[in-house]
């Protein structure tokens, strides 16, 4: 009686092996998956006119324009933004770093992607491009 049972167990074990082998084969055959990212963020080709201006216009101009500048901060000219970028204040306020007033004031923090874009532009020297 022990022998048929043994055979059955062996067969089951072999079947399991085959299934496992097939599964890993399938994984190897499938196309390489891109690194999972919560959201795609394109930080290539970041420019002042095409990338930075729209972000600031949508989130900051209401309080920081040439005609109405809270704290004397003007963000609708390149010179005004560069001044805040070069001294580290711009990155400080948008990342809500300690020691800086969190911006945009009274509104949600900018998206991680927009912060990454602004950071990239600052690191590039805050060019007027
Ligand atoms: C609802 C109005 C409002 C909005 C919107 C706003 N700010 Fe401000 N911001 C202020 C006020 C008020 C001050 C000055 C008072 C203070 O320091 O808290 C200020 C100060 C600043 C300063 C100077 C901080 C310092 O320590 O010198 C920077 C830089 C700045 N804001 C950037 C931004 C940016 C970038 C945005 C958009 C992402 C933004 N702000 C949106 C109201 C606003």
Distance 61 CA to ligand 1 centre (A): 10
pLDDT in tens, 56-71: 999 999 999 999 999 9
Specify if 29 maps to a domain.
no
Which residue did the predictor score with more confidence, 25 or 122?
122
Specify if 31 maps to a domain.
no
The response to whether residue 85 sits with its C-beta less than 6 Å from ligand 1 reads no
Specify if 103 maps to a domain.
yes
Specify if 108 maps to a domain.
yes
The response to whether residue 101 sits with its C-beta less than 6 Å from ligand 1 reads yes
**pLDDT value, residue 40:** 86
Ligand 1, atom 1, lies closest to the CA of 105
Tell me which residue has tokens 């101009």: 61
Specify if 90 maps to a domain.
yes
- Structural domain span for residue 56: 48-123
The response to whether residue 52 sits with its C-beta less than 6 Å from ligand 1 reads no
């Amino acid at each position: 009686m022990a022998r048929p049972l043994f055979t059955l167990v062996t067969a089951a074990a072999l079947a399991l092996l085959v299934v496992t082998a097939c599964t890993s084969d399938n994984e190897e055959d499938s196309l390489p998956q891109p690194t999972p990212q919560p959201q795609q963020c394109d930080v290539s080709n970041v420019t002042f006119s095409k990338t930075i201006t729209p972000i600031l216009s949508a989130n900051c101009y209401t309080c920081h324009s040439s005609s109405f500048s809270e704290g004397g901060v003007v963000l609708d000219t390149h010179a005004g933004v560069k001044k805040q970028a070069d001294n580290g204040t711009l990155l400080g306020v948008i990342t809500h770093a300690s020691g800086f007033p969190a911006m945009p004031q009274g509104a949600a923090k900018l998206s991680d992607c927009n912060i990454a874009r602004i950071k990239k532009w600052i690191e590039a020297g805050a060019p007027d491009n």
